[in-house]
Amino acid sequence: MKLNIEKHQDSDVLVQIVKVDGYLDAHTFPDLEKVLNCMITQGEHNIILDFETLDYISSAGLGLLLGAQRKASQLKGGVKIIHMQESIKRVFQVLGFSRVIEVCPSREAALRAFQCGNSGRLSGDVT
Partner 1 sequence: MSPDSKSTAVVVSIPEHTAYLSVVRQAVASIAGTMGFDDDAVLQLQMAVDEACTNVIEHGRGGRGGRIKVKLQAKPGKLVMHVEDQRERFSPLERTLPSRDAYFQSPQTGGLGILILRRFVDDVRHCYKPGVGNKLSLTKLVPQDGGATCAI
Q: How many CA atoms lie within 13 A of 88 on its CB side?
A: 20
Strand 78-82 versus strand 2-10 pairing type: unpaired
- Looking at the Cβ atoms of 8 and 89, the one nearer to partner 1 is 89
100 binds partner 1 (CB under 8 A): yes
Tell me: does residue 99 bind partner 1 (CB under 8 A).
yes
Instruction: Report if residue 23 touches partner 1, rule: CB under 8 A.
Output: yes
How far does the chain reach from its first CA to its final CA, in angstroms?
Answer: 33
Residue from 3, 53, 91, 98 in contact with partner 1 (CB under 8 A):
91
Q: How far is the CB of 108 from partner 1 (least distance, A)?
A: 27
* Residue of 11, 94, 116, 117 interacting with partner 1 (CB under 8 A): 94
Strands (DSSP E) found in 25-101: 46-50, 54-57, 78-82
Of 11-19, 32-40, 81-89, 106-114, which part binds partner 1 (CB under 8 A)?
Answer: 81-89
What is the number of alpha carbons within 13 Å of residue 19 lying toward its C-beta?
Answer: 9
**Plot region of 125 (φ>0 → left; ψ -120 to 50 → alpha; else → beta):** beta
List residues near partner 1 by CB under 8 A: 23, 25-27, 56, 58-60, 62-63, 66-67, 70, 86-88, 90-91, 94-96, 99-100, 122, 126
